[in-house]
Structure 1
Amino acid sequence: MQTEDTFSTSKVHLDFSINRQTLDKKSLKEIAYDFIKEGEVYEQEVGNFLLDWLNDKDYIVVKTSGSTGKPKKIKIYKQHMVNSAKATGTFFKVNEGTTALLCLPATYIAGKMMLVRAMVLGWKIDLVPPKTNPLDTVYKQYDFCAMVPLQLDNSINRLHLLKKLIVGGGTVSENLKELIQGIKTKIFETYGMTETVTHIAARRINPKKKDKKDSKYFKALPNITLNVDDRNCLIIKAPLLNGETIVTNDVVELKTYKKFIWKGRHDNVINSGGIKLYPEEIEIKLQLLIGHRFFVACVPDDSLGDKVILIVENDYNELMYTTLKEAIHSIKTLSKYEIPKKIYFIPQFIETDNGKIQRTKTLECVVG
């Protein structure tokens, strides 16, 4: 296992604090036990992770989200988590003394890593319940925070409380990107997965005008190099975060060994009339048109091979169906192959435990 300077979990940065309490290893264990015994559910999750972090094992067990496959438990070395924390500190310029807000559950890697960054880098981190509107009860400003897109969507009016914000765990919609333009908070969309110890790349999604051209590219964090395979799927070499080269199923347009544009999942590629289509690209073109959650998929077709369909999370409404169908046909950026041949409605999508859409299972419910 390749590592940077070895970090012992028996050490805690001198500037580290939780909820304004400065902590060393002994007091950190005490507060962890307090969280487990007397805290709310989200605090109990934090306590359990802290005890896992402070035990003698050199790894922790983490659950994957299950958004692209069956959820599973994997081992992640603590040293890799430390290395990831240091890379985040360098990339986003958030080192000792940074004030941070944890509003994600500590059951998944994103929440765990906020705590590791705090302990390793010397952050002053506060905890709030991981709800959809996490800033509603916050009245002080923070240097750094991490959210999922739904939390960002519900926090627009209070983003002045955050200087830098990273958003992961799902794609940020075009509607949401429009809403955050001109906001002073520096907001970054991240790319990563549990196996890469959260994000390995990020891009500013509310850039200044002079930086807009470059903002479409994800840029890799330090000590990470990128390549593609014969499917144009991203290959990640991150020896300080994972002992193996990671071959993903994410189709990208690679600009350099450090920059790429994400196009979509190879698993989701649609071959319609011999033309390869990426549902995620079609979804971007439809996002400003549809006010509900939706996704693009396909069903078998005798003449086309795959037929593009649209699935909308809403009760069926004939007027909405007709209006939506006409509006889609008026979009000039859609090719004739990208236009959905049929629109389905479903009251509620099937989701993973942390709120990600399970496309395959939802599709099965709609078309059988």
Structure 2
Amino acid sequence: MKPLIRVPAGDVPRMLAQLREAVLLDGPAVLPVPGDEDPGGPGDPIEQFVDDAVAVVVETSGSTDRPKRVALSGAALRASAGATSSWFGGVHGQWLLALPATYIAGVQVLVRSLVAGTEPSVVPAGGFTPDGFVAAARELDPDRPWFTSLVPVQLSRLVDAASDERSVRAALGSFERILLGGQAAPAGLVERAAGLGARVHRTYGSSETAGGCVYDGMALPGVDVRIVDGEVRLAGRMLAEGYLDDPDRTARAFVVDADGTRWYRTGDLGSIGDDGRLRISGRADDVMISGGVKVVLGEVERAVHGVAGFGAAVVVAVPDAEWGERAAVVVGASDAAREPGALEGLRAATDAAGLPPAGRPVRIVVVDELPRLASGKPDRVAASALARSAAGD
């Protein structure tokens, strides 16, 4: 057993030092905590003791589930970093940290930097802004390839700002690769970024897989993907040890097949196309039964995102006296959402996507601002409550 120590994620030099000990030298395990000071004060930084294999514990908060602590080994983190480097053609460059190091994507930017032997540049504290991104990019070594990892809301801000700010456009186009993950990107965002010279790659993965392990639908080297009863499962050396102090949850999420391969059950629904690319259709626990028909809300949401003005909308199920459940669209205030015929336009989009009539939205709920989790992902529980409240349910 070894200690699990709290490390303020905002203190990047300290995070790097502790991650080096934990991931490369088998030192004390690291639990990143928000802020730049230990919330426990100057006292004992030890959270608890963990198995010797554990190097980092990432606390996650899903959009529909209770928080969990994912325990990752140094070997898993190094394997993930190595797979990313291999996918880049073996190139080791310099990374820009734009995400909090409390999230696996932020941790992996630091781990990749350690493996590459480079010092990351860091976006200034106080919230992500295009100006801060440009300032951090200017600190990167011009003689090395540049890399960064973003979530869609960050890329969207950069793309919007680039139309007026030459410096933002230049920064976007200067990165060798930009990894985009955390949630599905709004329709057209990656294409708009590409038009500005940005080389963006969609990633799929989670804390349980030490971050993204499928890029642009294709598994990274050393990663296996399969579909079992519609659910996506992933295998490889990047898998987490499990959930800290939660053996039951670990047993449900990680399974071993007859040949001894250990798989992570993602809880996502998906399919693998003829081109070998993985396509995610939604969450297995985000399916409604409407008029006796199973409807994957993620597929409805994907169709809705293709309608102008609804690129960031959230689709949730609301009770219906006749159908049992129907789809409602929660969207931030916009002219498009209030236009006459907006609902008919969304229904036409779901029909065009080949979805059954049960998937047609029955209402639009306009809110001042979409509720989000600290990670930037939509807060679906809060969105569902808003939709039910608007309908008087």
* Structure 2 counterparts to residues 16-35 of structure 1, below 5 A: none
Partner of 1:175: 188
**What's the secondary structure of 2:84's corresponding residue?**
helix
Instruction: Describe the superposition over 1:79-126 as per-residue Cα deviations: whole angstroms up to 9, x where unpaired.
Output: 211111111110122533x13222211121111111111111333532
Q: Which of residues 315, 318, 329 in structure 2 aligns to 1:310?
A: 329
Which blocks of at least 5 consecutive residues in structure 1 are unaligned? 1-35, 204-217
Instruction: Describe the superposition over 1:303-330 as per-residue Cα deviations: whole angstroms up to 9, x where unpaired.
Output: 3232121112238x89815342243345
- Taking only the aligned residue pairs, the percentage that are identical comes to 25
**What's the secondary structure of 1:90's corresponding residue?**
helix
C-alpha contact (below 8 Å) 2:64/2:381 kept by paired residues: no
**What's the secondary structure of 1:322's corresponding residue?**
coil
CA distance in 1, matches of 2:299, 2:63: 18
* Structure 2 counterparts to residues 141-290 of structure 1, below 5 A: 142-156=145-159, 157=162, 158=169, 159-203=172-216, 218-230=217-229, 232-242=230-240, 244-255=262-273, 259-290=277-308
Partner of 2:111: 116
C-alpha contact (below 8 Å) 2:336/2:342 kept by paired residues: no
Q: Look up the equivalent residue of 1:118 and give its one-letter code.
A: S
CA distance in 1, matches of 2:342, 2:73: 49
Partner of 2:71: 75
Deviation at 1:153, TM superposition (A): 1.1
CA distance in 2, matches of 1:165, 1:304: 43
Deviation at 1:233, TM superposition (A): 0.5
The runs of at least 4 consecutive aligned structure 1 residues that moved more than 6 Å come to none
Q: Does 1:106 align with 2:101?
A: yes
Q: Look up the equivalent residue of 2:111 and give its one-letter code.
A: V
Q: Look up the equivalent residue of 1:78 and give its one-letter code.
A: G
Which blocks of at least 5 consecutive residues in structure 2 are unaligned? 1-6, 29-53, 163-168, 242-261
- Residues 352 and 50 from structure 1, CA distance in 2 versus in 1: closer, same or farther, beyond 3 angstroms? farther
- Residues 46 and 255 from structure 1, CA distance in 2 versus in 1: closer, same or farther, beyond 3 angstroms? farther
**What's the secondary structure of 1:192's corresponding residue?**
strand
- Residues 99 and 344 from structure 1, CA distance in 2 versus in 1: closer, same or farther, beyond 3 angstroms? same
- Residues 340 and 59 from structure 1, CA distance in 2 versus in 1: closer, same or farther, beyond 3 angstroms? same
Greater CA drift, 57-66 or 253-262:
253-262
Q: How many residues align?
A: 312
- TM-score of the two chains, using structure 2 as the length reference: 0.71
CA distance in 2, matches of 1:320, 1:234: 37
* Structure 2 counterparts to residues 87-98 of structure 1, below 5 A: 87-96=83-92, 98=93
Q: Does 1:64 align with 2:83?
A: no
**What's the secondary structure of 2:110's corresponding residue?**
helix
Q: Does 1:344 align with 2:340?
A: no
Deviation at 1:46, TM superposition (A): 5.0
C-alpha contact (below 8 Å) 1:100/1:143 kept by paired residues: yes
Deviation at 1:367, TM superposition (A): 0.9
- Residues 136 and 194 from structure 1, CA distance in 2 versus in 1: closer, same or farther, beyond 3 angstroms? same
Deviation at 1:287, TM superposition (A): 2.0
C-alpha contact (below 8 Å) 1:101/1:145 kept by paired residues: yes
Partner of 1:359: 380
**What's the secondary structure of 1:223's corresponding residue?**
coil
Q: Look up the equivalent residue of 1:77 and give its one-letter code.
A: S
- Residues 86 and 304 from structure 1, CA distance in 2 versus in 1: closer, same or farther, beyond 3 angstroms? same
CA distance in 1, matches of 2:297, 2:112: 35
CA distance in 2, matches of 1:319, 1:277: 23
CA distance in 2, matches of 1:220, 1:329: 34
C-alpha contact (below 8 Å) 1:102/1:127 kept by paired residues: yes
Partner of 1:209: none
Partner of 1:131: 128
CA distance in 2, matches of 1:103, 1:347: 26
Partner of 1:213: none
The CA RMSD over aligned residues, in Å, is: 2.8
**What's the secondary structure of 2:237's corresponding residue?**
coil
Deviation at 1:53, TM superposition (A): 4.0
Q: Look up the equivalent residue of 2:234 and give its one-letter code.
A: I
Deviation at 1:182, TM superposition (A): 3.8
Partner of 2:255: none
CA distance in 2, matches of 1:324, 1:53: 53
CA distance in 1, matches of 2:267, 2:147: 30
Greater CA drift, 189-198 or 59-68:
59-68
- TM-score of the two chains, using structure 1 as the length reference: 0.76
**What's the secondary structure of 1:95's corresponding residue?**
coil
C-alpha contact (below 8 Å) 1:269/1:276 kept by paired residues: yes
C-alpha contact (below 8 Å) 1:175/1:287 kept by paired residues: no
- Residues 178 and 222 from structure 1, CA distance in 2 versus in 1: closer, same or farther, beyond 3 angstroms? closer
